[in-house]
């Protein structure tokens, strides 16, 4: 265990710093697309959005000590990204004399937060529904959506025609969609 310097009791040790940096990088990498998508809702030009994303990355790193472990990093990061993008849009609006006003930007953020929460609920329900599938059905879905095999190769391995495979997959997708919907409505899985 690394020792804390006697001259600075609050100094972060090298090991703690490395662990902190690793946690940040893993969380940031996993959430990168969502963060960038949040920026694109306000900054439609990709080059400008890239510039804002660079700034967001620096701000996230500076504020990472404020992030509460165990909470949703992507939601936290998207909130910061929204405010950074909003500030950028405000500066550009002043410079160019046109653009979305703060009220519209706030409504966009409300919509993003709401859809993000709904998406997270749907993901949770989907995980519940997937756990209720037969092992063979679950394995087939994993092969189809998570594997390197083509549909034709899966059908051959399953001893089915390609059409029979697609019929089975459509039934499973429909069953999962119904299950997710029931779960969101408070019904049983």
Confidence of residue 11 (pLDDT cuts 50, 70, 90): low
pLDDT per position as a tens digit, 149-179: 888 998 998 899 999 999 999 999 999 999 9
CB neighbours (10 Å) of residue 110?
10
The tokens 């594997």 sit on which residue? 147
User: Measured between alpha carbons, how far is 42 from 15 in angstroms, rounded to an integer?
Assistant: 38
**Percentage of the chain surpassing pLDDT 70?**
86
Q: For position 1, what pLDDT does the model report?
A: 38
Q: Look at residue 115 in the predicted model and tell me its pLDDT.
A: 74
pLDDT tens digits for range 71-113: 899 999 999 999 999 889 888 777 665 566 677 777 777 777 7
Q: Does the pLDDT at position 49 exceed 90?
A: yes
Domains of the chain: residue spans and CATH:
15-120 (1.10.1740.10), 132-189 (1.10.10)
User: What are the residue ranges of helices labelled H in the chain?
Assistant: 14-40, 46-63, 73-96, 102-131, 135-146, 151-158, 162-184
Q: What is the pLDDT of residue 73?
A: 94
**5 or 12, higher pLDDT:** 12
Q: What is the pLDDT of residues 13-42, one digit of tens each?
A: 676 778 888 999 999 999 999 999 989 988
Find where tokens 């930007």 sit: 105
Per-residue pLDDT, 3? 42
pLDDT band at 118 (very low <50, low <70, confident <90, very high): confident
What pLDDT, on the 0 to 100 scale, is given for residue 80? 95
Give the pLDDT mean for 1-9: 43
């Amino acid at each position: 265990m690394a020792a804390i310097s006697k001259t600075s009791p609050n100094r972060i040790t090298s090991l703690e710093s490395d662990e902190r940096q690793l946690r940040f990088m893993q969380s940031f990498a996993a959430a990168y697309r969502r963060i960038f998508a949040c920026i694109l809702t306000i900054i439609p030009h990709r080059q400008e959005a890239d510039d804002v994303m660079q700034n967001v990355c620096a701000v996230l790193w500076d504020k990472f000590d404020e992030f509460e472990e165990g909470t949703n990093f992507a939601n936290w990061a998207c909130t910061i990204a929204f405010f950074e993008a909003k500030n950028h849009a405000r500066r550009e609006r002043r410079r160019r004399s046109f653009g979305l006003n703060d009220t519209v930007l706030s409504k966009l953020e409300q919509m993003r937060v709401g859809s993000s929460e709904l998406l997270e609920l749907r993901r949770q329900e989907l995980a519940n529904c997937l756990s209720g599938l037969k092992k063979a059905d679950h394995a087939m879905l994993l092969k189809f959506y998570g594997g390197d095999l083509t549909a034709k190769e899966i059908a051959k391995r399953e001893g089915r025609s390609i059409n029979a495979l697609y019929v089975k997959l459509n039934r499973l997708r429909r069953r999962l969609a119904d299950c997710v919907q029931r779960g969101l409505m408070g019904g049983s899985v």
